């Protein structure tokens, strides 16, 4: 009988220690990274992308897709995924959206601007995967 009463507190202790170690490891600081964005990329982002894709934007759909001002906060996997999404929407000519361009045709990305963004996204993702 005494053996059973001893097992329950030990099991509870093991569970608590296991949970606290999970919390300990999850609260460790993550890798600090600064997104390296050359001037030509930053110029395109600032003039054509940032207006909708920033935390202050009123465009919730754009904010859900990408926040240029929060790229530094993403984990490595999330950052590489975001770069892949940037490449994809540029390849599929989805950004800026056609409906948006009806109102603001001057925001259309030129072929050179698309290439600058796409090449940066691809090269940065490849560098992150090394």
Record the pTM: 0.72
Structural domain span for residue 77: 39-128
Pairwise CA distance, residues 111 & 116, whole Å: 9
The domain tally of the chain equals 1
Q: Is 8 a domain residue?
A: no
120: which residues sit within 8 A by CB, 6+ positions away? 37, 38, 41
pLDDT of residue 53: 95
Q: Tell me which residue of 66, 96, 70 sits closest to 82, measured CA to CA.
A: 66
Q: Is 123 a domain residue?
A: yes
Other C-beta atoms within 10 Å of 60: how many?
8
Tokens, residue 21? 């170690």
Q: Is 15 a domain residue?
A: no
Chain mean pLDDT for the chain: 84
Tokens, residue 35? 């997104």
Q: Is 89 a domain residue?
A: yes
- What is the pLDDT confidence band of residue 85, given thresholds at 50, 70 and 90? very high
What's the mean pLDDT in 5-16?
A: 58
Report H helices in the chain: 2-26, 39-44, 60-65, 76-91, 98-103, 111-128
Q: Is 5 a domain residue?
A: no
What's the mean pLDDT in 113-123?
A: 96
Q: Is 59 a domain residue?
A: yes
Taking a C-beta distance cutoff of 8 angstroms, is the pair 129, 83 a contact?
no
Q: Is 7 a domain residue?
A: no
53: which residues sit within 8 A by CB, 6+ positions away? 62, 63, 65, 66, 67, 68
Q: Is 87 a domain residue?
A: yes
pLDDT of residue 29: 47
């Amino acid at each position: 009988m005494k053996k059973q009463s001893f097992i329950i507190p030990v099991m509870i202790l093991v569970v608590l220690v296991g949970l606290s170690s999970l919390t300990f490891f999850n609260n460790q600081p993550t890798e600090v990274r600064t997104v390296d964005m050359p001037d030509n990329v930053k110029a395109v982002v600032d003039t054509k992308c940032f207006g909708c894709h920033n935390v202050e934007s009123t465009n919730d759909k754009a904010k859900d897709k990408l926040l240029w001002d929060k790229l530094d906060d993403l984990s490595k996997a999330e950052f590489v995924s975001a770069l892949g999404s940037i490449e994809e929407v540029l390849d599929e000519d989805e950004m800026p959206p056609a409906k948006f361009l009806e109102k603001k045709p001057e925001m259309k990305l030129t072929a050179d601007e698309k290439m600058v963004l796409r090449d940066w996204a691809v090269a940065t993702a490849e560098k992150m995967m090394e």
